Amino acid sequence: MRSQRRLVSPFSEVSLQPNTFIGGVSPFITTASNLASRLGILATDIPYFAIVGDDVEAKITATYSFNWRDEPDLPDSLSYYIDLGARCTYNSGWTGFYKITRVELTGCTDIEVRYAAINSSGSPVLNSIKLAALAHAGNQKFQCYSNSVLKELHLPNCITFGSSPSTLDGVFSNIPVDCKVYLPSSAQTSNGGVPDPDVQYLIDRGCDVRFITNNTAPNAITNLSIGTKYATGLQLNFTPPSSVNTIEFYECYANGVKKNNISASGGYITGLQPNTPYNIIVKAVDIYYNKSEFSNSVNDTTSATYVIPTANISNYYRFNDDLTDSVGTNNGTGTAINYAAGKSGNAASFNGTTSNISFTQMLQAIPSQSISCFVKSNENSRQQRIFGLSNGAGTPFLMLRIGTSLNRIECNVYDASPQVFIGTNYYDITLWNHIVVTMVNNNNWKVYVNGNLVATRVLGYYVVITGGNRLGSDRNGGTTVSLNGQIDGVATWNKELSQVEISEIYSKQNAGEELI
């Protein structure tokens, strides 16, 4: 195992505070010298360098331009790139970077971003782009494919768009309607008192366009404390600070590295390791993306054991050579099922044609519930069902599938009329992936993949399902979409699982342990 060096925040030596965080690259960027050579600067321009798991962090003092596409090992590895020191002045863009989720370049004045957040030919899981210094967005600069998962586009100083303030130049295309786009207040009137047509495109599309009218940051949290402790998360309690603008969320940092956002006191910082000491700090962020200073810091250690809400498990299938329900009495009936090594003991193995497991009932007539499982496919060239649930009248109700597009995970819900609930885009479906769907009547339905929330959508009721419930095929046992792969550790829950509970469930099963 590679050594891990983590800074404690606030940093003991301000001069060595890291300003650059790069995800997924420590297997091949192992020293300051190696990073410097890639950036075209001197090793002495990086006075601090540390490996943190698969990631690296550094203090960089020189400015540089970075053509990512000249680095052949980055596209399949880079998971985020954050430059808080305004060191990177130009970036070549990230088309073809399949794992990158976040880009924040505070000093970048020019960037090639065309097709920014896309499908298998682009950057399919990129959800956040922050370019604080970009003053002009050229033609076709921010074009996405229709299945983009981009959630925030932060351009607080971008004052001109395209070739002319009076023409539609295709600066933006297919930006998701739930994407938050932050623009300066001047963008409201840059076209003779009205928005540039490229900005109006975003408004007409229904995107959450936020014109920054006030740059006053919230005050800092002063009484951060730790509440309930899990193996992978810590509850954060505090008094909300005063703020001129409405506070929208709080950024949570562990040992100087951002982990996740929470909406209020009582939320959990997640993505932590069991029985590990952490230094925790938080920033408040308002609706215009103004950030407070760091809160007071607190130190605590995560639980040594996973905390699983086992009392809320309705059904659980280990698939260790049988289809027995280990909690209830809803045993499965298998057709052409074999067993092979899975995540926890054995897993049910499906042959891609005739295999399926049927159940009398999978969901319940209760206000909220969840279903979770691990799945792995032997191929990615066709659509395959993980499970298909029917309302008993022949109409599919909840369907989880992979492979409609290559390496895609989708959850389809039929609520009055067919609806594609979510396409979660690129995952290597030939590896084990953990999937959770949480359901609340007439409220939020959510999909999590490998412990991470990937989609939320408000949907209507669900019904008690008493027939046509199958794993590994569609509800009728059809063979054209049968799974060629394995399913393991299926559980149904009589509640909406929380983010931290899902993190615990995923981490425990991913470590090869049964839930019960």
Higher-confidence residue of 21 and 445: namely 21
Predicted pLDDT of residue 264: 97
Predicted pLDDT of residue 365: 73
Predicted pLDDT of residue 388: 77
* Two structure tokens written together for 13: 């030596």
Instruction: Report the range of poorest mean pLDDT among 38-42, 76-80, 230-234, 487-491.
Output: 76-80
Report, as an integer, the average pLDDT of 439-461. 77
DSSP 166: T
> How far apart, in whole angstroms, are the C-alpha atoms of residue 161 and residue 180?
18
> How far apart, in whole angstroms, are the C-alpha atoms of residue 259 and residue 389?
35
Strands in 185-336 per DSSP E: 208-212, 225-229, 233-237, 247-254, 257-262, 268-270, 277-286, 298-301, 313-317, 333-335
Higher-confidence residue of 443 and 263: namely 263
Report, as an integer, the average pLDDT of 336-340. 96
Enumerate residues 6+ apart whose C-beta is below 8 A from 368: 438, 439, 440, 441, 495, 496
pLDDT at 15 over 80: no
Report, as an integer, the average pLDDT of 493-513. 95
Predicted pLDDT of residue 306: 94
**Residue 454: pLDDT band with limits 50, 70, 90:** confident
**Residue 125: pLDDT band with limits 50, 70, 90:** confident
pLDDT at 1 over 70: no
Predicted pLDDT of residue 97: 76
Instruction: Report the range of poorest mean pLDDT among 179-193, 197-211, 427-441, 451-465.
Output: 451-465
Single-letter amino acid, residue 252: C
Predicted pLDDT of residue 416: 47
Residue 396: cis peptide before it, omega within 30 degrees of 0: no
Instruction: Report the range of poorest mean pLDDT among 9-18, 173-182, 299-308.
Output: 9-18
> How far apart, in whole angstroms, are the C-alpha atoms of residue 269 and residue 252?
6
Instruction: Report the range of poorest mean pLDDT among 246-250, 439-443, 497-501.
Output: 439-443
Predicted pLDDT of residue 90: 85
**Residue 404: pLDDT band with limits 50, 70, 90:** low
Single-letter amino acid, residue 363: L
The number of beta carbons lying within 10 Å of the beta carbon of residue 215 is 14
**Distances from the Cα of 68 to the Cα of 38, 72, 353, 501, angstroms:** 9, 8, 43, 37
Predicted pLDDT of residue 408: 63
pLDDT at 478 over 70: no
* Two structure tokens written together for 317: 């299938």
Average pLDDT, the chain: 85
Higher-confidence residue of 69 and 150: namely 150
pLDDT at 159 over 90: yes
Please tell me the pTM assigned to this model.
Answer: 0.78
Instruction: Report the range of poorest mean pLDDT among 175-179, 453-457, 460-464.
Output: 460-464
**Residue 99: pLDDT band with limits 50, 70, 90:** confident
**Residue 382: pLDDT band with limits 50, 70, 90:** confident
Predicted pLDDT of residue 9: 34
Alpha helices in 236-335 (DSSP H): none
Predicted pLDDT of residue 163: 93
**Residue 398: pLDDT band with limits 50, 70, 90:** low
pLDDT at 457 over 80: no
Predicted pLDDT of residue 30: 94
| Residue 78 near residue 24 (C-beta atoms within 8 A) | yes
Predicted pLDDT of residue 189: 96
The number of beta carbons lying within 10 Å of the beta carbon of residue 189 is 13
pLDDT at 144 over 50: yes
**Residue 121: pLDDT band with limits 50, 70, 90:** very low
Predicted pLDDT of residue 461: 52
Report, as an integer, the average pLDDT of 191-219. 96
Indicate the pairing of strand 136-137 with strand 160-161: parallel
Higher-confidence residue of 70 and 415: namely 70
Map tokens 């999909």 to a residue: 447
DSSP 36: H
Q: How many helices (H) and strands (E) does the chain have?
A: 3, 38
> How far apart, in whole angstroms, are the C-alpha atoms of residue 137 and residue 118?
19
The number of beta carbons lying within 10 Å of the beta carbon of residue 122 is 25
| Residue 411 near residue 404 (C-beta atoms within 8 A) | no
Higher-confidence residue of 6 and 351: namely 351
Higher-confidence residue of 81 and 453: namely 81
Map tokens 């949480």 to a residue: 438
Predicted pLDDT of residue 116: 43
Report, as an integer, the average pLDDT of 140-169. 88
Instruction: Report the range of poorest mean pLDDT among 25-34, 112-121, 393-402.
Output: 112-121
SS3 content of the chain, % helix, strand, coil (to 5): 10, 40, 55
> How far apart, in whole angstroms, are the C-alpha atoms of residue 320 and residue 255?
40
* Two structure tokens written together for 253: 């940092």
Predicted pLDDT of residue 8: 33
pLDDT at 391 over 60: no
pLDDT at 176 over 80: yes
* Two structure tokens written together for 358: 């049927």
Instruction: Report the range of poorest mean pLDDT among 176-185, 380-389, 396-405, 454-463.
Output: 396-405
pLDDT more than 70, % of the chain: 83
